[in-house]
Amino acid sequence: MNYSSDNSITLTIQRRAELEHRLDTAVGKLLKNAKLRKQGLLVTRSSPETFTVSLSEKVPYGMTMEKMSW
């Protein structure tokens, strides 16, 4: 499952070998909007295989933070 909007991208990543590349790609896709809105990015892991990369007012501009919520 993959879901995408201007503010977030949700990915299902089942293989460890794909994890870093797919998350880096998602971050890259949201960087333009993060710069325009002066927001940071939050990578949330909501299950062993589900990750959401989103713009966040709670993350300082220019930074990417990680969060586990499962």
d(CA 60, CA 26): 18
d(CA 42, CA 53): 6
d(CA 69, CA 67): 6
Task: Note the pLDDT of residue 45.
Answer: 97
Task: Note the pLDDT of residue 4.
Answer: 83
Task: Note the pLDDT of residue 1.
Answer: 58
Task: Note the pLDDT of residue 5.
Answer: 87
Residue-wise pLDDT for 8-60, tens only, equals 999 999 999 999 999 999 999 999 999 999 999 999 999 999 999 999 999 99
- This prediction has a pTM of 0.91
